[in-house]
Amino acid sequence: MARQRRFCPANFPQHVIQRGNNRQVCFASDSDLAAYANWLWEAAEKYQISIHAWVFMTNHIHLLVTPSIKNSIAPAIQYVGRYYVRYFNQRYQRTGTLFEGRYKAHIVQNNKYLINCQKYIEMNPVRAGMVKKPEEYKWSSYQSSAFGKTSKLWHPHSAYLSLGQNSEERQKCYRELLASPMDEDELENIRHSAQKGIVLGNKEFREQVSALKKVAMDEDATED
């Protein structure tokens, strides 16, 4: 059975997850992570994608991104994979696949849902027990969003920018948001959306995306 074509409209944020094949380690050193981050930046520039949040774990990654042109996330992920897997295999004298065959992605509504998703991403190392505080983990966007650390990867979303009138206000507000634990229902909603690839947002937004998807599918069928 052919895979269903992904729905990737322009200017809609998406939460992207890619895991190591069979959950194997994908990053064994800081050098690996730096190499991956550089190719991710190249891909984002090449395919016109804004990266709002990220975390690179030992065997998977989370991204919160917005494509400026439709259907650009898939080629961007393929671009990173093509270069990084070749690098990783050569460095560790291995062969074969490294990542799962297909990344997971779901659209996120541009409001509190997006901020919760960003919080979910940056708190991943804390939930995993790797660190006690998000600022202790080097390979995430938290240092940028909470303390203003410069990163060529980071393009803050308008939902984040609305947290304050200036960078100091936004950073303070964001630190306070992450200081309080996420509601279990919010966590479950994000996990469910990620696992099933369904829209994270309220009913009205889900219906809006569904209508847009139907139009896109009809246009694709006409072109075929």
Mean pLDDT of the chain: 94
Structure tokens at 204: 């009205």
3 contact partners, CB below 8 Å, separation of at least 6: 102
Give the tens place of pLDDT for each residue, 144-154.
Answer: 999 999 999 99
pLDDT exceeds cutoff 50 at 2: no
User: pTM for this structure?
Assistant: 0.94
pLDDT band at 1 (very low <50, low <70, confident <90, very high): very low
Give the tens place of pLDDT for each residue, 30-67.
Answer: 999 999 999 999 999 999 999 999 999 999 999 999 99
pLDDT average, residue stretch 211-217? 88
Q: Is residue 7 part of a domain?
A: no
Q: Is residue 171 part of a domain?
A: yes
CATH code for the domain in which residue 108 is found: 3.30.70.1290
Q: Is residue 223 part of a domain?
A: no
The structural domain count of the chain equals 1
The DSSP annotation for 19-60 comes to EBGGG--S--SHHHHHHHHHHHHHHHHHTTEEEEEEEE-SSE
The whole-angstrom separation of Cα 73 and Cα 50 is 10
Q: Is residue 9 part of a domain?
A: no
What pLDDT was estimated at residue 223?
Answer: 58
pLDDT exceeds cutoff 70 at 125: yes
pLDDT exceeds cutoff 90 at 207: yes
Q: What is the dihedral of CA 26, 181, 140, 190, to 10 degrees?
A: 60
The whole-angstrom separation of Cα 145 and Cα 170 is 8
Residue 64's DSSP bridge partners are 15, 53
Q: Is residue 135 part of a domain?
A: yes
pLDDT band at 4 (very low <50, low <70, confident <90, very high): low
pLDDT exceeds cutoff 90 at 99: yes
The whole-angstrom separation of Cα 4 and Cα 180 is 38
Residue in this structure with the two tokens 């100091």, named with its chain if needed: 168
Beta strands in the chain (DSSP E): 14-19, 49-56, 60-67, 104-107
Specify the higher pLDDT residue, 130 or 218: 130
pLDDT band at 193 (very low <50, low <70, confident <90, very high): very high
Q: Is residue 1 part of a domain?
A: no
Structural domain range at position 30:
14-211
Q: Give SS3 for 158.
A: helix
pLDDT exceeds cutoff 90 at 220: no
pLDDT exceeds cutoff 70 at 128: yes
